[in-house]
Structure 1
Amino acid sequence: MEHLPQSSLATPADADIILKLYDLRREEVMRKARAWVAGEFWPATAEEYFNVAMNPADPHNAYVRQVLSFWEMAAALVLHGTVSAELFVDCNNEGFFLLAKFEAILDGVRERNPMFMARTSDLVKRFPAAASRYEIVKRNVEGMRARLQKAAPQYAYPAKP
């Protein structure tokens, strides 16, 4: 896709989309899914990710699929020019959080699933505001992971060869 310029002013239609996305995030099952994926699911390897994401018998499988597909859909709205990138970035953090959270295992996951978080990654590459937000979120996630590793070493990423 070609690079779309960022507009300086969002429209009322952009605001309506952002508010609808927010409403969807508030749905009861989605809230539970988001809480689990963001707070409790910290896979240290691609295999740990796939043990949940590709296992329909795992009780959290639907949570992973629901949350990641929601944020990939939201990023696609921006990439296709449906909603202002600047407004989207100003109002949303979670998709960037998830990309940062999975960054260390991204290559391993993409070996089996090349489209894993591809739209969110593309958003970061194409829009300076998204790249800036991602860098901030990534530092926060690194701090969170360090605190988790102290409390529970299973959250440590294996050393890279």
Structure 2
Amino acid sequence: MKSLEIVQKFFKMFKVLSKIAMIFCIVISCIWVVGLICALFYTDITTLNKVFMVQNMNTSTLWVSCLCGMILSVTYGILSYYSYKYCEKEVNDGTPFTHEGATMIRQLAIKSIWMPIVSYIVCEIFITLYEIQYYDFEAWFSIGWILLLFLLAAIFDYGAELKEQSN
């Protein structure tokens, strides 16, 4: 049972880390909202060019940058929340080997696929609509993380089946 205690300590640590990530994303989202509000009312382009040290900065570029930052931080905040909820459930259950927990991990993996893709598509729509030329925006998500989540879900399902068979 020493192995299970080690696993529980890791999940407690992941629970804290995912909560920190969630709070961090909330704070960053609020900062982006403040930037977005400021960008909507700020019209002095010469000051913008000096502050950002670029030649062609305009308010629409600033507005879209803030909007995309907000969308992405909200997306990753939501994913952090689901990660936190799983870790909380696992710590309360005392074991990762439950069918419900494996289902939660599988759902997290699926959300980790479609949520970033949707948020990046929305951002790309705004970038295209406002014809932002030099906005460096890359769509990516971690394939390795997603595969690991699916693998963990399968392992935890298998462990739950073994646990049911032994009872």
> Normalising by structure 2, what TM-score?
0.30
User: Computing the radius of gyration over CA atoms, which structure comes out larger, 1 or 2?
Assistant: 2
Structure in which a larger fraction of residues adopt helix: 2
